[in-house]
Structure 1
Amino acid sequence: MWINYCIFICICDLIVCQSLTKDRRPTVRIAQGVVTGIKVYADSGGVADAFLGLPYAAAPIGKLRFAAPQRHGGWNGTFQASEYGPSCPQLPPKEGINESEDCLFLNIWAPEITSRYPLPVVIFFDGEEFTKGNRIPIPGQDLATEEVVVVTINYRLNVFGFLCFENQDVRGNMGLLDQYFAMLWVRENIRYFGGDPDKVTLYGHSAGAASVALHMISPRTAGFFQRTIISSGAATSPWHFTTNAKSASFEIVRVLGCLSSYLPSILQCLRSRSTQDLLKAYEEYQQSGNYSSMLLPVMDIFLPENDRYLPTMPETAFKSGTYMQVPILTGITKPISFPQYALWMKLASQGYTQLQQFAELSKIPEIMKRYSLNGRFKKQISDFIDWRYIEPSNGDVRILLEQLKRLEFESKIEAPHFLQIQYLLSSYIQPIYVYYLENPGIMLNAMDSPLTPDLLLLFGPLLLNQIVRRRFNNRELRLSQHIKQLWKNFIIFGNPTPSNQIKTWYRYNSVENHIEYLGTDSQTSSEDTIQRSRRINFWNQLLPKLAAFTFDEQNGITRELQNTYVPGAGYRHAMYTLSGLVVALLALLLVCIVLIKKRAKERERQFQMVY
């Protein structure tokens, strides 16, 4: 009897101790001070330690507005890391969203801290065209229970993150430097949270993916990360990099009434304006249609050499191999929504003609400006794009919406993605794994969200539930578990299939362009591969060649041939080759014009039938 009583008391004590351990808030000491987090539960039932809203840099307000990030001074007492920090200011304004210029915070999720070996770390960057981020906090506990330390960060966007005067006072790239500062913070502190600072994966989505690629070419990030995941974004995209942010910046200065010949006066004026004033001026400039000059990351060769972050154009760095050579997992997913989808739906409600005029008079010209396709043949190129994408549809608005989605996806995501891979292959020695995630049918009412299915599948049911208040169905759950396993393997080993337990995912190389298709049971056919190549070459080769083509009207030969004289057979051979190319391009252009005119007549007849 006495023995049974003792056993009962011991069991009770053990239960109480375990309960107290579970309820005890995780606490760590870092250079800035003591931090206390919270316990959070994953959908699987596992427990993770979460540290939310940790400041990784000083607040970029007052004199630090538009400045490079500075170290945070720390705090006295204990920092309560139990709530997300505010998001960085962005458009469009939305009620109920906590936003502030004091927004340089990061969030950490880790398996319950023990004395185990340090775990691999993944740092996640999101963003959309560097103008806005994901206003829905991404919960990291589901991924953290897979024995990975997860870090998400806020960084400055739009006018606050990328205003650029091409000098040391307003240097541009502040948003990228925020990310760099967060990486530095992780390198110095992540071991206190159970992470390994020498086993870090940078994971970016959309503009965040372009950011990861840009950090690869920066000379200042050596040793900061050992692998990269680049999802639905590329540094080679004209939506993610510019050579002309200065003119856009001074146009915004003009809109704000801050123009002056004295730079300190301009800065004083800009720093005196409210957050909303700056966002309104930025929005006004965005709507002006000057897409050839936007606030985006820039090459900063105007700075002293030891202060430059991006001294080289992305394509130059990738071609020459002057970048961080680490394993890459990269792929694309068709978005659930698009940045202008709300506008498209509004125009669609007004009728087919309104939406078609937007496509032909606004969307196609925007894309052409981004791609620098406004040469002598810009009218023909515009008609060519229109002919390829805006097909007659008997006035069916739904078909036109699908055509717009296809135009947006292929020009903004697919073509730049494969162009970046092409550049990387010219000098890359580390493995590259490429995927294409077919939309598994996750349809969301999330028009303001830049999320794609791969993020929802990776970060688990908690993220999906935040958006649409539902759980994965069985098919989605299986795909989510499969993707988690592949991504986890890559984060740990630099290879998504290191063992024979999963079907081998082969590297992508110049000989075999292996792409892993996820979310579909069928394998891609050779016809699919041919069609994809045609889509990519349309944007990456054909249109740029047509735009660059110059023709001398007086004698009918290209200026390139006119200005080149090298006597001998080699010259004649080159001349014949180039002449043949010119004839072929002209023939193609004539065929396109004939087809476009034929298409226009068909469309006119259809309009008469509809209206």
Structure 2
Amino acid sequence: MEVEVKQGKLVGIKEKSVLNGYEYYSFLGIPYAQPPIDDLRFRPPVPIDKWNGVYEAKKEPAPCYQYDIMNNNELVGSEDCLYLNVFTPAAPSDIKVPKAVMVFIHGGGFLFGSSSPMTYSADYLMNYDVVLVTVNYRLHALGFLNMGIEDCPGNCGLKDQMTAFQWIKENIRQFGGDPGNVTIFGESAGASSVHWHMLSPLSKGLFEKAILQSGVTSCAWSFSSNPIENGFRLGRYLGFEEKDPKMLIEFLKKQPVKNILDATTKMYKDTLNELFGIAAAIPFAPSVETIKENAFITDVPENLCKNIPPVPTIAGINDKEGRLIFLSLMEKIVQIQADLTPVIKNNFQFKDSQLREVVNEVKKYYFANGGSISATFSALTDLYTDIYFRKFHPTIDYIANSNAPLYVYQFSFNGDLNPTKRLMLQPFKYLFAEGASHADELAYLFYPKSLPDPKFGKCETKVIENMCTLWTNFAKTGNPNGETISIEWKPYTSEKSCYLQIKDDLKLIQGSLLEKGSTFWKKIEEKYK
């Protein structure tokens, strides 16, 4: 199947859905910006030039350079990685009425991940009459180093995404998509990226709706408050001792890309081992830009969120988010339980003189059920869920107060497709008695080709139907409800909070997500402020 975009002609492939054999079309590895190499390293993306001949969009693009934690930390990818994939439910020439467009931004802590169909297959969503786009963007220091100079202004990964959105606006009609009905959605770092686009004036007009899955800008891991310090720290890891940002960038541009990745990874691991906290360990994340012209982020998230433009939004979390977070620290589990001080110190602004009392109160609250293995893991799951996701509520209140419709959910289905459960079940089977870990909901929106022997039971199939129907209804109309949905999902307001609980059935719950943990931490912070 051949289409013609502004940059030239390209040809894709026909595929079949694993669910029911539904045929759809994939256009893989389409370049949307010039390769960010050589002098373009650390600089904002430059739109792609026209190409000659017919571009073969039949092979998934290389991920942006990274260590793949899902594949034994294998070194994968390329610095030339600014590509996207387009999936359409019919031959574009046969689509007479343009379809709603959904653009997905992957997660991975700004350190890893990609748009790969092995993880984000379109097999489910193509049954729901939308056009889907998945996007690669630069990661770690290559995407988020910010030295406050023209050669390295910061937030290149977010600007990559924005450039992809611009390409989509210009070209998606050629694939049967409606450029005036675009929903951007993402998970974890991808969700906080979507939230940054909602806040940035540079992305205005590039999308109409947003879906935030387990991430907002106010999550501690979504923002770097000391980017220049981290930049010089990166330099020291590579033997650069000067304090001139221009000299540092010239030095880094001459470094092999593997050296930069290795130094970034070592920075992450060293801090993680010292602080026992994911957020504090992420060295390169979105940050405020000091060069104000064409700046993507101009202020801290707390200030920007207060004036968020009205954008219809779905936002939610999984009930056991913290399980995956602390599983990455399993080898430190005894040490963490023995002394929670590093966890608390590096995620909150308590005075050193207050830490002992705060830690004692935290232990009493979270570890009240004793010290058995299952009780300890449950307590640490709740603690890390609250630490890394409890700021969800004040942030979504700002969205609700913008007068845009807001739908809030909690995903808590414990099914046989849950990726964390399937990949870690054998060594830690006792952890998965209930609930959904961070990222588990993704397997019910995207067919997980990389998951060994995916199991589609009756309940799993129903959850897929519900998730895909809710998400695509919202993308089409701004309202997730419809005839095939068994319950009315009412909008959330700051005065009357409610959320949709998504399990093997749907249930509307009155009240706030993370209400219990949020109340505890609010009291603690007020007591020790």
TM-score under structure 1 length normalisation: 0.76
Measure how far apart 1:339 and its partner are: 4.3
What is the CA deviation profile of residues 295-348 of structure 1, one whole-angstrom value per residue up to 9, with x for unaligned ones?
Answer: 211122x113x31111233222222x3x3311111111134961452541xx3x
Rounded Cα–Cα distance in structure 2 between residues aligned with 1:364 and 1:419: 26
Q: What residue is the counterpart of 2:62 in the other structure? A: 86
Equivalent pair of 1:40/1:49 in contact (CA under 8 Å): yes
Instruction: Measure, in 1, the Cα distance between the counterparts of 2:506 and 2:399.
Output: 28
In 1, Cα distance between equivalents of 2:59 and 2:75 = 14
- In structure 1, C-alpha distance between the alignment counterparts of 2:258 and 2:413, rounded to whole Å: 37
Residue 411 of structure 2 is aligned to residue 423 of structure 1: no
Out of 311, 322, 325, the residue aligned to residue 298 of structure 2 is 311
Contact 1:140–1:150 (8 Å) recurs in 2: yes
Residue 322 of structure 2 contacts residue 381 of structure 2 at CA under 8 Å; is this kept in 1? no
**Mapping of 1:318-337 within 5 angstroms?**
318-319=305-306, 321=307, 323-333=308-318, 334-335=320-321
1:175 matched to 2:150? The reply is no
Measure how far apart 1:450 and its partner are. 8.7
SS of aligned partner of 1:141:
coil
Aligned 8 A contact 1:245 1:293 in 2: no
- Would the alpha carbon gap of residues 40 and 80 (structure 1) be closer, same or farther in structure 2, given more than 3 Å must change? same
Kindly report which structure 2 residues correspond to 1:210-229, keeping only aligned pairs within 5 A, or say none.
210-229=192-211
Give 1:341's aligned residue: 327
Matched, 1:379 2:368: no
Q: 2:130 aligns with which of 131, 148, 156?
A: 148
Deviation digits for residues 324-383 of structure 1, max 9, x if unmatched?
311111111134961452541xx3xxxxxx62313444x652453233334541222223
Aligned to 1:398: 374
Contact 1:376 1:547 in 2 (8 A): no
CA contact (8 A) 2:67 2:74 kept: no
Residue matched to 1:101: 79
Of 282, 286, 297, which aligns to 1:297? 286
Of 352, 375, 383, which aligns to 1:407? 383
For residue 104 of structure 2, the aligned residue among 110, 117, 124 is 124
The worse-fitting range, judged by mean Cα deviation, of 70-79 and 143-152 is: 70-79
SS in structure 1 at match of 2:42? coil
Query: Are positions 1:368 and 2:345 aligned together?
Result: yes
Distance 1:83 1:131 in 2: 23
- Show the counterpart of 1:517: 501
Going from structure 1 to structure 2, the CA distance change for 1:386 and 1:122 (only over 3 Å counts) comes to: same
Structure with max Cα Rg = 1
Q: Distance in 1 between matches of 2:506 and 2:29?
A: 43
* Cα deviation, residue 388, structure 1: 2.2
Please identify which structure carries the higher strand content: 2
* Correspondences of 1:567-582 after superposition (within 5 Å): none
Does the C-alpha gap of structure 1 residues 271 and 455 become closer, same or farther in structure 2, counting only changes over 3 Å? Answer: same
Q: Distance in 1 between matches of 2:463 and 2:6?
A: 41
CA drift at 1:95: 6.5
Cross-structure match for 2:233: 251
Amino acid at match of 2:385: F
Partner of 1:53: 29
| Residues 105-116 of structure 1: pairs in structure 2 closer than 5 A | 105-112=83-90, 113=92, 114-116=94-96
Distance 1:441 1:187 in 2: 37
SS in 1 for 2:444: helix
Aligned letter for 1:295?
Answer: F
1:17-32 matched pairs, under 5 angstroms = 26-32=1-7
Shift of 1:221: 1.5
After TM superposition, the structure 1 = structure 2 runs for residues 431-450 of structure 1, keeping only pairs within 5 Å, are: 431-442=405-416, 443=418, 444-446=421-423
* Of 129-138 and 61-70, the range deviating more from structure 2: 129-138
Match of 2:431 in 1: none
Query: Percent same amino acid among aligned pairs?
Result: 28
1:383 maps to a residue whose letter is N
Structure 2 residue 53 is the aligned partner of structure 1 residue 64: no
Q: How far apart, in 1, do the equivalents of 2:476 and 2:324 lie?
A: 32
TM-score by length of 2: 0.88
Q: CA offsets, 1:496-541, max 9 Å, x none? A: 1155964211111123212111105585777xx58942211223x2
CA contact (8 A) 1:109 1:141 kept: no
**Of 476, 479, 496, the match for 1:495:** 479
Aligned residue pair count:
501
Shift of 1:264: 3.8
Distance 2:6 2:150 in 1: 29
Question: Residues 267 and 336 of structure 1: is their aligned pair in 2 closer, same or farther, counting only changes over 3 Å?
Answer: closer
2:217 equivalent among 231, 235, 242: 235
Conserved? CA contact 2:459–2:504, under 8 Å: no
Match of 1:567?
none
Which residues of structure 2 form unaligned runs of 5+? 426-435
Q: 1:47 to 1:238 in 2, by over 3 A?
A: same
- For each residue in 1:407-455, what CA deviation from the matched residue of structure 2 results, as whole angstroms up to 9, or x when unmatched? 1122212x12223113333x32011111111133335333599962321
Q: Measured at CA, do residues 523 and 79 of structure 1 come closer, stay the same or move farther in structure 2, by a change above 3 Å?
A: closer
Question: CA-to-partner distance for each residue in 1:192-245, whole Å, 9 max, x for gaps?
Answer: 111111100011111111111110110111211111111111111111113222
Cα 1:102–1:406 change in 2 (3 A) is: same
Assess, with a 3 A threshold, how the Cα gap between structure 1 residues 252 and 150 changes in structure 2: closer, same or farther: same
CA contact (8 A) 2:98 2:177 kept: yes
Residues 88, 132 of structure 2: 8 Å contact kept: yes
Contact 2:369 2:375 in 1 (8 A): no
For residues 133 and 398 of structure 2, what CA distance do their matches in structure 1 show? 29
Q: Provide closer, same or farther for how the CA distance between residues 491 and 418 of structure 1 changes in structure 2, counting only shifts above 3 A.
A: same
Moved more, 514-523 or 206-215: 514-523
8 Å Cα contact 1:161-1:175 kept in structure 2: yes
The structure richer in helix per residue is 1
Secondary structure at the residue paired with 2:450?
Answer: helix
Whether 1:196 aligns to 2:172 is no
Decide which of 65, 76, 93 is 2:52's aligned counterpart: 76
Preserved CA contact (<8 Å) 1:330 1:432: yes
Deviates more, 1:323-332 or 1:229-238: 323-332
**Which stretches in structure 1 are left out of the alignment for 5+ residues?**
1-25, 348-353, 549-611
Which amino acid is the alignment partner of residue 315 of structure 1? E
Separation (CA, whole Å) in 2 of partners of 1:531 and 1:314: 21
CA distance in 1, matches of 2:6, 2:408: 39
2:188 & 2:165 partners in 1: Cα distance? Answer: 19
Could you tell me how far apart the structure 1 residues matched to 2:515 and 2:376 are?
24
Name the CA distance, whole Å, in 2 between partners of 1:187 and 1:522. 34
Partner Cα separation in structure 1 for residue 241 and residue 412 of structure 2: 49
- CA RMSD of the aligned region, Å? 2.7
Specify the alignment match of 2:525 in structure 1: 544
What is the aligned partner in structure 2 of residue 593 from structure 1?
Answer: none
User: For residues 531 and 252 of structure 1, do their structure 2 counterparts lie closer, same or farther at Cα, with a shift above 3 Å needed?
Assistant: closer
